[in-house]
Amino acid sequence: MGGKRQIGVWFGGIGVALVLAFFVFGVGKPTPSATEGRASSSTADASLALDLTDAQMNLVKVNPVTEQVFVAQREALGTVAFDDDLTVQVFPPYPGKIFRHLHEVGDSVRQGEALYTLTSPDLVQAESTLISTAGVRELTTHALERAKALVAVRGLAEKDYQQAVSDQQAAEGAYQAARKALWIFGKTEVELDRILSSREVDSVLSVPSPLTGRVTVVSMAAAVGTFVQPGTAPAPYGVSDLSTLWLLANVAEGDIPRLHLGAAVEVHVAALPGRVFQGRIDKIGAAVDPGTHRIQVRTVLHDPKHELYPGMMATFVIRTGGDMHSVGLPLSAVVREGDGSYSAWVATGAHHFVRRSVQVGQQQGDTVQILTGIQVGEKVATEGAIFLSNALAVRSASGD
């Protein structure tokens, strides 16, 4: 558990404190009063007990043990990531060469706003088709009008009139198909009318953003003159809606039974101390990583102010149940011993202390949960616990 790593210090890494304790306590054991001596022999193993002088008591602070409320939760490390459901690789709809790129990484874009342009032979062909079908449409329309006039004075056979009608309808269909083909290219009605009036093709095709968001990728394929094709990686541009992000945590397999979809999650990032982001679990991985024995848990987080950035390291605090009422001690009261166990010092007299092995639970702020070893109402050294452990070690080393 992440909290346990913060509790106390390693015994072997505090040589300076040991030396300090040695000089404070001296070579011999402090002489206890007769009353305190009897208490130590009757209440605990003398090898785990210490009696302090008045001067030494100035280094220790004693407080009664109280019950604390601990939230059932687990911590895990993870990473802020793009929401893949709101991230798009923007490929060109047709083959062509990049003519101009209009945005850089980090730029905000709106849906429909052009990201880049390219020259496309398919576009040239589609515009040429529009111009030619427009000419045929105009010709067949005039021919049909003449045929109608001749039929009215019986100057044209019926079959010739029907042929004129068929030709005009075919020309109209081809013309409308040509216009719709250019709509697919992204050309507007105004642009189509301009092409028809000028009878000139425009080979430049604009590729718009499919969503409102931020440009997250501008690849080498976006360089001017690069030939690009639909679906051929890499895409020239990538756009993501960063108002929603994914938070991917790697949770220990032992905590899997405590996880469930919809569970509340608090997210803390080092870059924004004091800020807490709220989310809920929306996906639990299907398999445990055999190398790390962890499973990936995904949380969807709304970030409308864009305070988070993909790639940030984050600490995930996941609610796994209801509140728990347990003994709680300050971090300074719990010592991690050299063998990896945890202990606290219980005051059983005015100057008498006994080291007690404890089992720790979760850490909540500067308070650690004590599962066994300490009872509510007992008095514990909340400051100076490391000093007491070092003094006991010095005494043991001296053979006293």
Query: Which CATH code is given to the segment(s) 4-71+323-397?
Result: 2.40.420.20
Mean pLDDT by 10 residues, the chain (400 residues): 44 41 42 38 64 89 91 84 92 90 91 91 88 92 90 84 92 93 83 87 87 90 89 92 91 86 88 88 92 92 88 85 85 89 92 93 86 93 91 80
Q: How far is CA 178 from CA 40, 93, 182, 346, in A?
A: 101, 17, 7, 90
Radius of gyration of the chain (CA): 39
Domain ranges in the chain with CATH number 2.40.420.20: 4-71+323-397
Give rounded-to-5 percent helix, strand, coil for the chain: 35, 35, 30
For domain 90-238, the question of CATH label 2.40.50.100 is answered with yes
Domain ranges in the chain with CATH number 2.40.50.100: 90-238
The end-to-end CA distance of the chain, in Å, is 37
Q: What is the pLDDT of residue 187?
A: 81
Name residue, tokens 């062909």.
125
Q: What is the pLDDT of residue 101?
A: 87
Give yes or no for a contact between 367 and 329, defined as CB atoms under 8 angstroms apart: yes
Q: Which helix (H) or strand (E) holds 217?
A: strand 213-218
Instruction: Return the CATH fold of 74-84+241-321.
Output: Elongation Factor Tu (Ef-tu); domain 3 (2.40.30)
Q: What is the pLDDT of residue 45?
A: 62
- 35, two tokens: 């009353």
Domain ranges in the chain with CATH number 2.40.30.170: 74-84+241-321
